[in-house]
């Protein structure tokens, strides 16, 4: 037994020495120099920021104690002095409505764009144009799209729905097109050989074959849009439970109400996740 352990220890030592020698002899290239330069710059900026930060003589011990006290109020004593639980649930339904409309509009538009973006269904020229356009939309965060449309349409639900729909379209178009591209090319070629036109191929082969994946992606995006709708309620004045959370935390500083709203949002997210799991299980069956 001692002999085996000594052999294992010797082998591990030899392996470590070999790996060290390999990495030690590895020459520096431009990529590694750039990576280490960026890491060093970030380290210097972080140290400088922490050193020059004005803490206004805050008592760290008192700050930690106040933090625990605030968490105690939020999580252990949730209560609202401005509205009832029924009114809070109604606001959650408003937020769910925003997420549903955004997902519905985004899925309808993304379905057609996904067909145009699939390489096995359209020409390479059209595919590149659609994917480039979608990549540009996806590169801009959802909150920025909402704020852009808030300038044009004014703060409210309309700006939130349009801005969230833009990002939903880009997200679902990429997901749908990849699902369509996974379809066996021999099926499409067989339908073309039998005289089927493009629309017949799409509605008789492509969409039925990818329907399970499409519904999964749509529901996943619905969950994402619910979280976005909560944030947009505060950022764009889109009403719903997000606006109440913003008012309670930023204006009234009612920590008990913040805790109540947080529990409602968490419960809704858990219910959505359970529904998603059940739907996916049934679809796979």
Q: CB atoms < 10 A from the CB of 42, how many?
A: 10
Give the tokens for residue 7: 């052999």
Judged by average pLDDT, the poorest of 154-163, 175-184, 212-221 is: 154-163
Give the position of tokens 């309309």: 158
Mean pLDDT along residues 200-219: 82
Burial class (CB in 10 A: 0-12, 13-18, 19+), 113: buried
The pLDDT of residue 105 is 92
pLDDT of res. 27: 61
| Stronger pLDDT, 57 or 141, i.e. the higher one | 141
SS (H, E, C) the chain: CHHHHHHHHHHHHHHHHHHHHHHHHCCCCHHHHHHHHHHHHHHHHHHHHHHHCCCCCCCHHHHHHHHHHHHHHHHHCCCCCCCCHHHHHHHHHHHHHHHHHHHHHHHHHHHHHHHHHCCCCCCHHHHHHHHHHHHHHHHCCHHHHHHHHHHHHCCCHHHHHHHHHHHHHHHHHHHHHHHHHCCCHHHHHHHHHCCCCHHHHHHHHHHHHHHHHHHHHHHHHHHHHHHHHHHHHHHCCCCCHHHHHHHHHHCCCCHHHHHHHHHHHHHHHHHHHHHHHHHHHHHHC
For 67-83, how does the pLDDT look when each residue is reduced to its tens digit (9 = 90+)?
Answer: 888 888 888 877 777 77
Model pTM score: 0.71
Mean pLDDT of the 244-258 span:
80
Mean pLDDT across the stretch 201-220?
82
Q: How far apart are CA 266 and CA 285, in angstroms?
A: 29
Residue whose pair of structure tokens reads 């109400």 in the numeric block = 257
Q: Where are the domains of the chain?
A: 2-58, 84-284
Check if the beta carbon of residue 100 is closer than 8 Å to that of residue 222. Answer: yes
Q: What angle do CA 106, 109, 111 make, to 5 degrees?
A: 100
pLDDT at 107: 92
> According to CATH, what is the number of the domain 84-284?
1.10.3720.10
Q: Give the residue-averaged pLDDT of 207-211.
A: 81
Are 104 and 118 in contact by the 8 Å Cβ rule? The answer is no
């Amino acid at each position: 037994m001692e002999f085996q352990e000594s052999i294992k220890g010797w082998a591990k030592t030899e392996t470590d020495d070999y790996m060290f020698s390999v990495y030690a002899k590895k020459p520096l290239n431009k990529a590694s120099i750039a990576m280490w330069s960026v890491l060093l710059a970030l380290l210097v900026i972080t140290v400088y920021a922490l050193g020059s930060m004005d803490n206004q003589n805050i008592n760290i011990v008192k700050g930690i104690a106040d933090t625990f006290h605030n968490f105690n109020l939020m999580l252990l004593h949730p209560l609202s002095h401005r509205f009832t639980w029924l009114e809070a649930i109604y606001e959650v339904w408003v937020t769910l409505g925003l997420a549903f409309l955004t997902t519905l509009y985004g899925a309808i538009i993304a379905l057609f764009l996904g067909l145009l973006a699939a390489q096995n269904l359209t020409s390479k020229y059209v595919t590149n144009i659609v994917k480039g356009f979608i990549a540009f939309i996806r590169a801009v965060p959802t909150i920025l799209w909402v704020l852009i449309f808030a300038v044009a349409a004014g703060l409210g639900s309309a700006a939130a729905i349009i801005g969230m729909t833009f990002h939903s379209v880009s997200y679902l178009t990429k997901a749908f097109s990849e699902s369509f591209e996974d379809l066996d090319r021999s099926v499409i070629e067989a339908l073309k050989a039998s005289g089927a036109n493009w629309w017949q191929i799409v509605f008789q082969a492509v969409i039925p074959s990818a329907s399970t994946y499409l519904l999964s992606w749509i529901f996943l995006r619905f969950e994402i849009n619910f979280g976005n709708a909560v944030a947009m309620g505060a950022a764009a004045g889109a009403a719903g439970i997000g606006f109440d959370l913003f008012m309670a935390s930023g204006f009234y500083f009612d920590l008990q109400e913040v805790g109540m709203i947080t529990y409602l949002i968490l419960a809704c997210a858990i219910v959505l996740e359970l529904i998603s799991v059940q739907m996916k299980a049934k679809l796979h069956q």
